[in-house]
């Protein structure tokens, strides 16, 4: 069965110095940092699918991240927002995106949203940005990569607490130095410590350059005894898909059998790893995904190349992450560093036409021949076929509040040796819990005011005990999370989820799912459990009221 879907929208997460850890003769508890506060390395991929890395079922070479999984913890039930800047607003604030200023993406603000609190289109000033709190608490603060939380200098990373930053300001664009944007209205603006970068090196490639800058930032402070908070925010594997040719060649022929075969391979591995139940049924293929065997040979070659480039981007990113790990080990900081890795949303199944202001002239200006796909002056994307494979067995992909848009892989390594190293936890937790957890391990309190402005409290909770293996599951409150983006809605309460997506993406009303038994959201239980459905709808209405969520209709595909 195939569901017909036309997809057009896409785009593209204390004030005082902390009290020093008291010395004692007893060994610290499991998961606790050694004497002195730990470094924090936060690595975020862009549009990476849930099953793309090896430790989460993928065939792509990711030895650095796979090794991180061996010495750390995998969490299979981590959730983000459906799109990049809303996720990043929650990551950087610990609050709901409607509170932090990204009730919708800045690129798609509608007249009814303009001037409304929580819909500023940038990380607003009623929340404390994570780097502001870390810096006030005595941490060195570094950022390299994608920001996407404010276009102006006063809303950029340098103004919001990063003392060293090299930032791509908007949501994406060319990974080379030509600065070709996603669509004509957009500009590929880079800033270095708030100042516009006028020229990029001739050999610029985003993943390499972001890594180089981060290593530079960390290295220059080695004589400083303060710990660092480093945010390494890659744009891989966001479209346009670009990678060095030798890495593309590495995957030549790997995907010639098509997306149906790849999804079956991934799903089999996910079951073997225990990430999904053995009897799980994948969400049906969308009507927009053509059967591989029915496609003309030339189209199959083009599509296979697209996935080869996508895999190459992830492979290369993993190699660059290894450079950072190697350097931390070389200078003796790796063991005292908390490392977190995840993706900002699900894989991107949308076409080039998705970007606001897109034109046929812009799309037609690229050389997307088979020989040039993935190289300079090309613009290709994974599309719905490969994205459904990357999000196996989930429903939909990026931009949707279905599981395919909001479930991503999560890895964490705590300082020291972890007693639960190499294991996997299936407890639900959310991107809003990352900031409270980082403040917890750093020994910092969330401020009530910063730089003279009053600050709203965080919504998330620390899950440090979960990471350390001290508890099997966090509190029930961690599992209660509401969603609204682009008019698509959801609410989680533990294993239960309600979902509302208008036709053609859903039935138009609320659906009810038990995700432990049905992570692919295939079996709607609303008729079977009407009381449970009513309870959760009431919880979503409370969420809507508490967070200033507007009633907006946003039809994807129009």
Catalytic positions:
84, 148
Long-range interactions of 62-70: CB distance < 8 A, separation 24+? 62/314, 62/315, 62/318, 63/318, 63/322, 64/318, 64/319, 64/321, 64/322, 64/325, 65/318, 65/321, 65/341, 65/411, 68/325, 68/339, 68/341, 68/411, 68/413, 69/411, 69/422, 70/421, 70/422
Locate 502 and state its tokens: 């208008």
Using an 8 Å Cβ cutoff, are 76 and 418 in contact? no
Using an 8 Å Cβ cutoff, are 431 and 90 in contact? yes
| CA–CA separation, 393 and 284 (whole Å) | 9
Helices and strands (DSSP H and E) totals, the chain: 14, 20
CA dist 249 to 246, 316, 350, 539, Å? Answer: 5, 12, 25, 50
Residue with tokens 């989680």: 492
| CA–CA separation, 261 and 48 (whole Å) | 19
| CA–CA separation, 504 and 284 (whole Å) | 14
Residue with tokens 């800033």: 191
Using an 8 Å Cβ cutoff, are 463 and 474 in contact? yes
| CA–CA separation, 75 and 424 (whole Å) | 6
Q: Among residues 148, 156, 47, which one has the least CA distance to residue 107? A: 148
Strands 423-425 and 73-75: parallel
| CA–CA separation, 280 and 48 (whole Å) | 22
Run of H or E residues at 467: helix 464-468
| CA–CA separation, 433 and 462 (whole Å) | 6
172 CB-near residues (< 8 Å, 6+ apart): 11, 12, 46, 146, 182, 235, 238, 239, 240
| CA–CA separation, 557 and 504 (whole Å) | 10
Please classify residue 143 by burial: count the beta carbons closer than 10 Å to its beta carbon, then call 0-12 exposed, 13-18 middle and 19+ buried. buried
| CA–CA separation, 405 and 403 (whole Å) | 5
Locate 30 and state its tokens: 């499991």
Instruction: Count how many residues are written for the chain.
Output: 558
Locate 447 and state its tokens: 């401020």
Please classify residue 363 by burial: count the beta carbons closer than 10 Å to its beta carbon, then call 0-12 exposed, 13-18 middle and 19+ buried. middle
| CA–CA separation, 371 and 529 (whole Å) | 54
């Amino acid at each position: 069965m195939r569901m017909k879907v036309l997809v057009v929208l896409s785009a593209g997460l204390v004030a005082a110095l902390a009290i020093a850890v008291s010395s004692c003769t007893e060994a610290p508890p499991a998961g606790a940092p050694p004497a002195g506060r730990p470094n924090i390395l936060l690595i975020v991929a862009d549009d990476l699918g849930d099953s793309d890395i090896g430790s989460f079922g993928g065939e792509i070479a990711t030895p650095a991240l796979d090794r991180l999984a061996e010495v750390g913890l995998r969490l299979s039930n981590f959730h983000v927002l459906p799109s990049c800047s809303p996720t990043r607003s929650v990551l950087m604030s610990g609050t709901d995106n409607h509170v932090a200023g990204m009730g919708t993406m800045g690129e798609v603000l509608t007249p009814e949203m303009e001037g409304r609190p929580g819909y500023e289109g940038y990380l607003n000033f009623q929340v404390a940005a994570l780097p502001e709190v870390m810096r006030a608490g005595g941490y060195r603060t570094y950022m390299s990569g994608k920001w996407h939380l404010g276009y102006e200098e006063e809303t950029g990373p340098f103004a919001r607490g990063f003392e060293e930053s090299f930032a791509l300001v908007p949501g994406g664009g060319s990974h080379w130095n030509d600065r070709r944007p996603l669509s004509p209205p957009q500009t590929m603006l880079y800033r270095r410590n708030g100042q516009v970068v006028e020229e990029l090196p001739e050999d610029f490639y985003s993943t390499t350059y972001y890594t180089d800058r981060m290593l530079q930032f960390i290295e220059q402070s080695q004589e400083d005894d303060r710990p660092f908070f480093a945010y390494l925010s890659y744009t891989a594997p966001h479209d346009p898909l670009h990678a060095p040719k030798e890495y593309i060649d590495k995957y030549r022929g790997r995907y010639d059998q098509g997306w149906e075969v790849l999804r079956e391979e991934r799903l089999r591995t996910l079951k073997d790893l225990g990430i999904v139940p053995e009897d799980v049924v994948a969400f049906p293929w969308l009507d927009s995904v053509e059967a591989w065997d029915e496609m003309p040979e030339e189209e199959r070659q083009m599509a296979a190349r697209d996935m080869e480039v996508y895999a190459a981007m992830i492979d290369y990113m993993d190699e660059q992450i290894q450079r950072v790990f190697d350097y931390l080990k070389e200078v003796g900081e790796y063991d005292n560093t908390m490392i977190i890795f995840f993706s900002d949303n699900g894989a991107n199944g949308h076409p080039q036409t998705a970007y606001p202001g897109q034109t046929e002239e812009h799309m037609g200006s690229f050389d997307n021949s088979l020989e040039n796909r993935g190289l300079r002056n090309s613009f290709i994307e994974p599309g719905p076929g490969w994205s459904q494979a990357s999000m196996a067995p989930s429903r939909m992909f990026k931009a949707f509040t279905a599981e395919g848009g909001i479930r991503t892989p999560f890895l964490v390594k705590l300082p020291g040796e972890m007693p639960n190293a190499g294991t996997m936890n299936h407890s639900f937790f959310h991107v809003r819990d990352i900031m409270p957890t980082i403040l917890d391990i750093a020994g910092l309190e969330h401020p009530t005011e910063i730089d003279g402005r009053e600050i709203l409290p965080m919504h998330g909770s620390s899950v440090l005990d979960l990471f350390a293996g001290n508890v099997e599951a966090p509190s029930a409150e961690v599992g209660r999370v509401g969603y609204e983006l682009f008019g698509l809605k959801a609410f989680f309460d533990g294993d239960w989820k309600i979902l509302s997506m208008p036709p053609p993406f859903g039935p138009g009303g609320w659906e009810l799912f038990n995700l432990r038994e049905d992570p692919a959201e295939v079996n709607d239980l609303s008729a079977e459990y009407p009381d449970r459905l009513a309870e959760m709808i009431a919880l979503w209405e409370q969420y809507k009221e508490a967070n200033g969520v507007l009633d907006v209709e946003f039809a994807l595909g129009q």
